[in-house]
């Protein structure tokens, strides 16, 4: 962490220290400074009442100071207090930057007159929503708890599932004003330690004033910034994180952020979900194939529809061509404009659905459906077949289990449509090859994005598109796990 102003050391006299503190915080009224006396020393207890748990302060600190019987004055009062105050964690601080950091993290500072060191005691108040149900990633049969905004709780939820001592945690502090803690967790005898080193070094080099979400971190250390596809997974479920940690991946936990980032991630990982662990592997294979089919549908169907109705009409099955021609005869726009209009309207509806408060939600979705479905068709603005095509496209687009990939696919859908309306089926072919080229050129932290299909790794075929029992129970992903490739007892 870079220090950009001179870090003053604490001074002997409490009065001077308190003056300095008040000056720097602009005399803000939520900092409480209480004066006590203890064993002939003057002690000031400073805490921020909005961040601290009042009960702990009253019960353990203030009560201790008041009720401890007077004994002889110990020599090193700081050392004495740090060993005897009945709290979990005490640290010694000696400069103002650390003091402010601790003060605004919810710790209580004990300033002792005449000493140059102060003590900080953990008294944080839990300011989050508590462990709740996962709202965005729903799993039928698994545990339903999700991460919260509290850093400690998140790490606790992960540790609860992997109880080995090999699960290591490294911390970095980022952000000059937000001083957010970033935790990096990995299982030390499975993960790729070089990659962990590289990631930690890269994170330490980030210079920014505030980190408010995990995306800030990941965007900076990512290799392919300009590409629309993500090379990380973000999840709010601790069991998913545990599953991936055991495959040798690295989890990045950011304070105050409910989504944990998992790196490295390749293309096929976006079709896996935690559901895979809780169902039979052959049923999971079916579900994954449906997701991949949904991806193909959402990219190809509007493009192929435009291509075959405007360029290669002989590809339409004979029984449909008259129906299509009859439907298009009343519509004023060319097919390309119609498709783009419908897609934009669907996207607007989807955004609205996310942002609207729930009281208005149902009315708006009914209006949307009526507007799009019935009225537009009857008014002759769009043809019914186009509504069906766009509806299938959008619904398939939402089937893919991770929202990061959906946002990337929206761009490519438009490129497919534009190229199809320029040159028909040849355009669709060229767009597909461009798409595959783009995917093949990305690497996710050293692993090619399209592994294990291209380049073909035979050992990993069991957990990419298909899921075989052997891979569920006995083997690990050999691309991300560098050691301990088998899950048996002897190795672990």
Shortest reach from residue 214's CB to other proteins, in Å: 19
Using the minimum distance from each CB to other proteins, give the nearer residue, 317 or 357.
317
- Token pair for 418: 């534009």
Smallest distance, other proteins to C-beta of residue 336, A: 6
The CB-of-445 to other proteins minimum distance in angstroms stands at 6
Contact 263, 300 (CB under 8 A): no
Of 227 and 365, the one with the shorter C-beta distance to other proteins is 227
The minimum distance between CB 13 and other proteins, in angstroms, equals 51
Q: Closest CB to other proteins among 139 and 250?
A: 250
Q: Which pair of tokens denotes residue 326?
A: 């009859």
Cβ proximity to other proteins: between 17 and 192 the closer is 192
Pick the closer one to other proteins by CB: 62 or 193: 193
Compute the least distance from the CB of residue 474 to other proteins, in Å: 26
Beta bridge partners of 173: 181
Which residues does 116 contact at the CB level (< 8 Å), separation at least 6? 9, 10, 11, 12, 94
Toward other proteins, which CB reaches closer, 364 or 433? 433
392 vs 425, beta carbon nearer other proteins: 425
Distance CA 123, CA 344 (A): 51
Q: Is the CB of 287 or the CB of 423 nearer to other proteins?
A: 423
Secondary structure of the chain in HEC code, one letter for each residue: CCCCCCCCECCCCHHHHHHHHHHHCCCCCCEEEEEEEECCEEEEEEEECCCECHHHHHHHHHHHHHHCCCCCCCCCHHHHHHHHCCCCCEEEECEHHHHHHHHHCCEEEEEECCCCCEEEEECECCCCCCCCECCCCCCCCCCCECCCCCHHHHHHHHHHHCCCCCEEEEEEEECCCCCEEEEEEEECCCCCHHHHHHHHHHHHCCCCCCCCCHHHHHHHHCCCCCCCCCCCEEECCHHHHHHHHCCCCEEEEECCCCCEEEECCCHHHHHCCCHHHHCCHHHHHHHHHHHHHHHHHHHHHHHHHHHHHHCCHHHCCHHHHHHHHHHHCCCCCCHHHHHHHHHHHHHHHHHHHHHCCHHHHHHHHHHHHHHHHHHHHHHCCCCHHHHHHHHHHHHHHCCCCCHHHHHHHHHHHHHHHHHHHHHHHHHHHHHHHHHHHHHHCCEECCEECCCCCCCCCHHHHHHCCCCCHHHHHCECCCCCCCCCCECCCCCC
In angstroms, what is the minimal distance from the CB of 450 to other proteins? 6
When the beta carbons of 81 and 268 are compared against other proteins, the nearer one is 268
For the bound state, the minimum distance from the C-beta of residue 339 to other proteins, rounded and expressed in Å, comes to 11
Q: Least separation, in Å, of the C-beta of 208 and other proteins?
A: 21
Q: Which residues bind other proteins (CB under 8 A)?
A: 195, 198, 223, 226, 308-319, 321-329, 334-336, 415, 418-419, 421-427, 429-430, 433-434, 436-437, 440-441, 443, 445-446, 448, 450, 453-456
- CA 213 to mean position of chain CA atoms: 8
Closer CB to other proteins, 132 or 327, in the complex: 327
Smallest separation (angstroms) from other proteins to the CB of 200 = 13
CA distances from 9 to 4, 96, 115, 218 (A): 15, 6, 12, 35
Residue nearer to other proteins on the CB measure, 322 or 375? 322
* Minimum CB distance to other proteins, residue 422 (Å): 5
Output the smallest distance, CB 9 to other proteins, in A.
40
Structure tokens at 12: 């002997």
- Minimum CB–partner distance for residue 441 and other proteins (Å): 4
Between residues 39 and 440, which has the closer beta carbon with respect to other proteins?
440
Rg (CA), the chain: 29
């Amino acid at each position: 962490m870079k220090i950009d102003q001179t870090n003053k050391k604490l001074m002997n006299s409490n009065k001077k220290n308190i003056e300095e503190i008040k000056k720097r915080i602009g005399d803000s009224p939520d900092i409480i400074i209480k004066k006590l006396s203890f064993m002939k020393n003057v002690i000031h207890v400073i805490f921020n009442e909005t961040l601290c748990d009042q009960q702990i302060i009253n019960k353990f600190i203030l009560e201790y100071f008041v009720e401890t019987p007077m004994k002889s004055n110990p020599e090193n009062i700081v050392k004495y207090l740090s060993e005897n105050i009945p709290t979990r964690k005490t640290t010694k601080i000696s400069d103002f930057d650390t003091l402010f950091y601790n003060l605004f993290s919810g710790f209580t500072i004990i300033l002792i007159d005449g000493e140059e060191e102060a003590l900080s005691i953990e008294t944080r108040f839990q300011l989050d929503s508590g462990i709740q149900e996962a709202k965005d990633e729903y799993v039928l049969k698994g545990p339903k708890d999700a991460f919260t905004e509290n850093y400690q709780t998140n790490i606790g939820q992960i540790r609860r599932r992997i109880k080995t001592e090999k699960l290591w945690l490294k911390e970095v502090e980022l952000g000059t004003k937000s001083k957010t803690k970033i935790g990096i967790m990995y299982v030390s005898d499975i993960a790729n330690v070089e990659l962990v080193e590289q990631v930690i070094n890269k994170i330490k080099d980030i210079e920014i004033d505030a980190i408010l979400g995990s995306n800030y971190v990941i965007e900076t250390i990512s290799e392919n910034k300009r590409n629309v596809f993500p090379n990380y997974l973000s999840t709010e479920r601790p069991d998913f994180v545990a599953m991936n940690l055991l495959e040798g991946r690295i989890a990045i936990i950011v304070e105050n952020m409910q989504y944990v980032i998992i790196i490295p991630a390749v293309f096929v990982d976006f079709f896996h979900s935690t559901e895979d662990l809780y169902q039979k592997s052959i049923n999971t294979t079916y579900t994954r194939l449906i997701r991949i089919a949904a991806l193909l549908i959402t990219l190809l169907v509007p493009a192929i529809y435009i291509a075959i109705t405007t360029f290669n009409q002989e590809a339409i099955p004979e029984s449909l061509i008259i129906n299509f021609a009859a439907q298009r005869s009343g519509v004023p726009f060319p097919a390309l404009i119609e498709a783009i209009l419908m897609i934009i309207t669907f996207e607007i509806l989807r955004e609205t659905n996310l942002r609207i408060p729930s009281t208005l939600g149902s009315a708006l979705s009914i209006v949307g459906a009526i507007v799009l479905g019935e009225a537009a068709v009857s008014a002759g603005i769009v043809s019914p077949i186009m509504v069906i095509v766009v509806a299938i496209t959008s619904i398939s687009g939402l089937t893919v289990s991770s929202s990061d990939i959906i946002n990337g696919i929206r761009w490519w859908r438009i490129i497919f449509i534009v190229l199809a309306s320029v040159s028909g089926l040849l355009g669709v072919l060229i767009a597909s090859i461009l798409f595959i080229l783009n995917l093949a050129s990305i690497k996710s932290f050293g692993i090619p994005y399209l592994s294990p299909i291209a380049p073909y790794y035979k050992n990993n075929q069991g957990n990419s598109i298909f899921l075989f029992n052997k891979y569920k129970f006995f083997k690990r992903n050999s691309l991300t796990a560098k050691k301990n490739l088998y899950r048996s007892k002897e190795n672990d």
